[in-house]
Each structure stands twice: as structure tokens, then as C-alpha cells.
Amino acid sequence: MATKREVLLAAAKGEGCLGKAADDEPVFVLRAQDILAPMAIRDWAYRAATRTGHRAPKVVQAEKDALEFIAWQGSKKLPD
């Protein structure tokens, strides 16, 4: 899982998810403080694995990210 700072630095270099996105491409961000985020990530990982028929590295990383979100959540809250 990347932090905000890491994502912004990578994007500035044209790397990572945001760095590769077109300037007019819609994106969706989940934050660890959102109590619903880990469930959304796990759902995405399940659907991605089901569609591809295997556990691609991106799916494995998403599952790890969901666990890190849960571990980080000190003050859980619903989405803003």
C-alpha cells in the first residue's frame, strides 16, 4: 500500500495508477479511514480474480492493502 505522499511523487513522475491515468480520465480514491474501504477493495479483488481466473499480482496486492487499511483504522468512520 502506498501513502498519499508516495502516490503524489509517483504521479508527478508519470508512474503508478494516477501517473498513468489520462488528464481527463475519471478516478476513484478510497481512504483507509473509511470503514467501508476494505470491503470495497476485497470485493474488487474477488471480482478481478474471478474474471481473470487467477490471482494476478495486482489482486494479491489489493488483498494486502485491504488488511493494511484494517490495521491502520484507529478511528473508523463512514465515508465523508
- Check whether residue 69 and residue 52 sit in a common domain: yes
Longest dimension (CA), the chain: 36
Q: Report the C-alpha gap between 59 and 10 in whole angstroms.
A: 20
How many domains would you assign to the chain? 2
pTM score above 0.85: no
Co-location of 43 and 60 in the same domain: yes
Q: What is the pLDDT of residues 19-44, one digit of tens each?
A: 999 999 999 989 888 999 999 999 99
Same domain? 20 vs 38: no
> What pLDDT score does 75 carry?
67
Cβ atoms of residues 6 and 73 within 8 Å = no
pLDDT tens-place string over residues 43-68: 999 999 999 878 899 899 999 999 99
